[in-house]
Amino acid sequence: MKKYYFLAIAVNEEYGSEPRIYSSTKKIKKNDYVVIPNYDEEPITAQVTSLISEIDAITKYRYITDVIDVVDMKAYTDKRTAQYKKQVLNDKMQELITQQKNLDTLEKYAGKNPEMARLLEELKALDEPTAEPQDEDPDTE
């Protein structure tokens, strides 16, 4: 069974901020979370900082610790992504509602005041996309 070697740093700062080498039989990617044993053999969480080749792991490091498990963050990240997208859509809809309410209010007052009506028409003209100037065909003159 293939082993993956990597450096990871404990999420809990009491354990230390120095990356240590670990191995796992599960496939590991940078920024994954793993459960590792601390000095008292209690499980703590760590984040993978970099992947290391097997040759480098064996030749450059004296002690390689096996991880307890790899944390599956997919459900959590999918949930967070959905929450973010929902918030972005909600913000866009709220902005459109506010614009529509403002336009409705301006139209209401424009019906009562000719100066306001003129200004509203100028505002609407600025909001409309401008047409691209078309090249005149010299043969049609």
pLDDT > 90: percent of the chain: 44
pTM of the predicted structure, to 2 decimals: 0.58
> Quick one: which of 21, 129, 136, 39 has its CA closest to 12?
39
Domain around 66: 4-72
CB atoms within 10 A of CB 52: 18
Q: Does a structural domain hold residue 140?
A: no
Q: Is the pLDDT of residue 141 over 60?
A: no
Residues near 22 by beta carbon (within 8 Å), at least 6 away in sequence: 5, 6, 7, 8, 34, 36, 46, 64, 65, 66, 67
Question: Does 134 reside within a domain?
Answer: no
Domains of the chain: total: 2
Domain final residue, candidates 35, 56, 72: 72
Query: What mean pLDDT is reported for the chain?
Result: 86
pLDDT in tens, 18-47: 889 999 999 999 999 999 988 888 898 999
Report residue 4's pLDDT band, with 50, 70 and 90 as the boundaries: very high
